[in-house]
Chain A
Amino acid sequence: AQSVAQPEDQVNVAEGNPLTVKCTYSVSGNPYLFWYVQYPNRGLQFLLKYITGDNLVKGSYGFEAEFNKSQTSFHLKKPSALVSDSALYFCAVRGTTGNQFYFGTGTSLTVIP
């Protein structure tokens, strides 16, 4: 079965510290992996994606993510968190042998000033 898991419902980090939001996946074939961010009362916004190639992907607003095939993970990272990064983050996956998209349950990130 294809799925994506975000093991942490809530992540708190101090402003200026590095942040990590975790994501693991299970998919048929090679994965297409995405991170999206949702601010209150807004639609989701695309941050970055992994399709193929370099395992370290850089995206918007200083975010990056590392694809790890052996651990089936795609963790979102940022070297220095900002208060404005506080939002709900979703990992999503689509397998190359299917057309459905699967979203994680979301991780609420709070950056503490």
Chain B
Amino acid sequence: DSGVTQTPKHLITATGQRVTLRCSPRSGDLSVYWYQQSLDQGLQFLIQYYNGEERAKGNILERFSAQQFPDLHSELNLSSLELGDSALYFCASSLKTGYNEQFFGPGTRLTVL
């Protein structure tokens, strides 16, 4: 158990809908990262927050957004969902940033029908 929790574990929804994925980092970790893992794209870095502020942005679509709250938990919002958004979404946390190793949550499997 990495100490990172993600809810829900599974999510099934329809095209055009909006969903919110939630992540609670390990106790004491200030950075939260979001990743998308799919068979054709591999593991793609989406976005990083550090202590409530956006620190780095990767291949995140404009339909997707995230935030980190004062208690350091984070949410990833996915809107106008398309079939191609079906994937495993991982959250990870680290103590600070840069050279700190990341601890990954168990993931949320999103299926868009």
Interface residues of A (CB under 8 A from B): 32, 34, 36, 42-46, 49, 51, 90, 94, 96, 98-106
Q: How far is the CB of B41 from chain A (nearest CB, A)?
A: 9
Q: How far is the CA of A27 from the CA of B89 in the complex (A)?
A: 25
Q: Per-position contact with A for B39-55: 1 when CB-CB < 8 Å, else 0?
A: 00011110010000001
Interface residues of B (CB under 8 A from A): 2, 4, 33, 35, 42-45, 48, 55-58, 90, 92, 97-99, 101-107
Residues of chain A lying within 8 A (CB to CB) of residue B2: 43, 45
Q: How far is the CA of A44 from the CA of B45 in the complex (A)?
A: 13
Q: Is the CB of B104 within 8 A of A102?
A: no
Known: A32-B98, A43-B90, A51-B99. A102 touches B106 (CB 8 A): no
Q: Is the CB of B102 within 8 A of A46?
A: yes
Q: How far is the CB of A18 from chain B (nearest CB, A)?
A: 25
Q: How far is the CA of A104 from the CA of B44 in the complex (A)?
A: 9
Residues of chain A lying within 8 A (CB to CB) of residue B58: 100-101
**B90: nearest residue on chain A (CB-CB)?**
A43
Known: A42-B106, A44-B90. A100 touches B101 (CB 8 A): no
Residues of chain B lying within 8 A (CB to CB) of residue A42: 106
Q: How far is the CA of A3 from the CA of B48 in the complex (A)?
A: 18
**A98: nearest residue on chain B (CB-CB)?**
B56
Q: Which of A32, A100, A104 has the most CB of B within 10 A?
A: A100
Q: How far is the CA of A81 from the CA of B35 in the complex (A)?
A: 29
Q: Is the CB of B99 within 8 A of A45?
A: no
**A104: nearest residue on chain B (CB-CB)?**
B42
Q: How far is the CA of A35 from the CA of B14 in the complex (A)?
A: 36
Known: A32-B98, A43-B90. A100 touches B45 (CB 8 A): yes
Residues of chain B lying within 8 A (CB to CB) of residue A94: 98-99
Q: Is the CB of B43 within 8 A of A90?
A: yes
